[in-house]
Structure 1
Amino acid sequence: MVCPTCTISNHCPGCSSIGGGAFTELGPFFPNGDGRSLRKNSMSWNRASNLLFVESPAGVGWSYSNTAFDYNIGDASTDQESCFLREKAMQIGNPLLNLDRDAPAMYDYFWSHGMISDEIGLAIMKDCDFDDYTFVTPNNISDSCNNAINDATKIVGDYINNYDVSLDVCYPSIVQQELRLKKMVLFFSSSVFCSGDG
């Protein structure tokens, strides 16, 4: 009997294959809302194949390195260090193709699903020019666009899974909540990690 193996690698800083892929998408278990137990995923891919979740590059999810150089990441270094795998087939799910299409589609999705107000959704559609937009160094982005995007990000928050907004809300631990509240007194904080983000 041949047992196929499916390799899952989100392969991106901030995107854990285990925290995101295994525990919120296609793995054998999902976390329960209590933060202490798991439930079976009846649609898990492990019913048809072995699953190998790869955390890459170093520092994503539960991966780590004891060499500081390994944390120098980017598309060029990741590409150079990638291994060649003999694959029979490949499937790409949820790829980032073009920011000029993907970024406005995300905000349109938030708006059409009632996650952001009409005011913010329409401001993004009107004021944002995504033709030359990058997340690292936004080029032609106006102050009104930047404000609308920041408002949308704050409203949607860190606890909603953008890929399945119907999932249970992922609240951080009590310690992380307390730290966040202390930060908010001094400065608006927008980064609290959910379980699995490392």
Structure 2
Amino acid sequence: MGHSICYVVLHLLSIFCVGISLVSASMEDQRRDKIKLLPGQPKNVGFEQYSGYVTVNEENERALFYWLIESPMNRGPNLRPLVLWLNGGPGCSSIAYGASEEIGPFHIRPDGKSLYLNPYAWNNLANILFLDSPAGVGFSYCNKTTDLYTFGDQKTAEDAYVFLVNWFERFPQYKHREFYIAGESYAGHYVPQLAQIVYQRNKGINNPVINFKGFMVGNGVTDDYHDYVGTFEYWWTHGLISDSTYRILRIACDFGSSQHPSVQCMTALRVAVAEQGNIDPYSIYTPPCNDTASLRRGLNGRYPWMSRAYDPCTERYSDLYFNRPEVQKALHANVTGISYPWKTCSDIVGNYWTDSPLSMLPIYQELINASLRIWVYSGDTDAVVPLTATRHSIDALKLPTIINWYPWYDSGKVGGWSQVYKGLTFVTVRGAGHEVPLHRPRESFILFRSFLENKYMPSSSS
């Protein structure tokens, strides 16, 4: 009897010691990933940030790069949820876009050397986790080169899930925190696909439970058929293409049954691009990057709004900043000495994408039935994935309407419009292009706050 009691005590002690060693290991990993100070960063910002690599495949040495930016200490980061942000492409960096020109606390100045604070940074409301996904994008890497030519939706989602599981082991204080996923553009695939895996694995007996509450997608690729019908409709109704080209596009481009457009469709698309001219299709009413400098020099005196227009050249600033060795060292990035320069988007990953389902609508239906919080938003000056495309896709779900189309307000001005369905909320942001937080930072902040609080967009003009 005495021997058995001793065995039990020793066994419990061993479990306790293993637990302590795992906790201490995770704390050591956190300490290693903590960012002391980024080059050009304003001092005394009041929040902690971490960055580094999480291995998602030991055999092929695939590792994904993350950047965690916590809420300021005076806003109680320990009480706030965790939000994973994903950019799309496929093949584009969440560090370059989401973190550095949209929702992150630091934006890069044109010199590519200094940073300034974003007053509408989303980390004021939640702890934000940015992820470069899949491997080969941004600072994420794999040591098996052939891997770069085999990425697609499924592999990207699986790797992102493994990343989450391993990341939560490194940051156990976040394990039981409310968790959301958000993203834009081709992340219209990434976000619901990852959400589906998390939801399904949470039901598994031996899988770690992630406290997943919902997701939000902006100007997202959703359903090929409805996306193209809605895009051609937007081009025509906004005067970007001719009547004849619109008719040809509708006849020649059948994306509901094939991922490979016909020769006639490609010809019509080239004509459409020519008819649109030298505009920024991601924001049709603002000048493209190559004309920005001359336009601003010549028009600032007569058109004061021009100086406050969004800057379409922000990608160039990211290229300058993140290729600086001292920046990479501060971020604990490029630890393997990648042979190619850092880029906002990967040519290889994007050009060799292997699988892309025609529609995300079945996943939406499954997750709506699971009672997750689902919001979809659209900037209404985006001609790449326009709001008409998203409206067609949502309409195809045939959801009952709870609150019909209404204007929402910010300081007495219409910020956009919204419709609340059973299981899904749709919001437009007036005057915003493809990257809503870049074009309308204040309005997107209000949108994000409403999403987290699960409240309708403010409908009062007072």
Aligned to 2:222: 97
SS at 2:280's partner residue?
Answer: coil
* Aligned pairs (5 A) from 1:88-127: 88-94=212-218, 95-114=220-239, 116-119=240-243, 120-127=245-252
Contact 1:16–1:61 (8 Å) recurs in 2: yes
Aligned to 1:132: 257
> TM-score of the superposition, structure 2-length normalised?
0.31
Measure the CA separation in 1 of the matches of 2:238 and 2:101. Answer: 20
Aligned to 1:63: 140
What is the deviation of 1:16? 2.0
- Partner letter of residue 213 of structure 2? A
SS at 1:104's partner residue?
Answer: helix
Contact 1:12–1:57 (8 Å) recurs in 2: no
Contact 2:236–2:242 (8 Å) recurs in 1: yes
> TM-score of the superposition, structure 1-length normalised?
0.64
Aligned to 1:197: 345
Measure the CA separation in 2 of the matches of 1:158 and 1:18. Answer: 28
Aligned to 1:170: 313
Measure the CA separation in 1 of the matches of 2:312 and 2:89. Answer: 23
What is the deviation of 1:73? 1.0
- Partner letter of residue 311 of structure 2? D
SS at 2:83's partner residue?
Answer: strand
- Partner letter of residue 118 of structure 1? S
Higher helix share: 2
What is the deviation of 1:97? 2.2
Aligned to 2:360: none
List runs of 5+ in structure 2 lacking aligned partners: 1-77, 166-209, 287-309, 317-342, 347-462
Aligned to 2:267: 147
Contact 1:160–1:170 (8 Å) recurs in 2: no
Contact 2:241–2:276 (8 Å) recurs in 1: no
Aligned length: 170
Q: Could you say if the C-alpha distance between residues 97 and 42 of structure 1 is closer, same or farther in structure 2, counting changes exceeding 3 Å?
A: same
List runs of 5+ in structure 1 lacking aligned partners: 174-194
Contact 2:249–2:269 (8 Å) recurs in 1: yes
Cα deviation 1:101-158 (Å, max 9, x = unaligned): 11232343344445x3325445423543332242xx33xx351x21121344567699
What is the deviation of 1:69? 4.2
Deviates most, 117-126 or 42-51: 117-126
What is the deviation of 1:160? 3.4
Measure the CA separation in 2 of the matches of 1:106 and 1:154. Answer: 16
Aligned to 2:122: 45
SS at 2:79's partner residue?
Answer: coil
Q: Could you say if the C-alpha distance between residues 60 and 151 of structure 1 is closer, same or farther in structure 2, counting changes exceeding 3 Å?
A: farther
Aligned to 2:156: 78
SS at 1:20's partner residue?
Answer: helix
Cα deviation 1:47-81 (Å, max 9, x = unaligned): 11121100111112332222224322123333443
Bigger Rg, structure 1 or 2: 2
SS at 1:57's partner residue?
Answer: coil
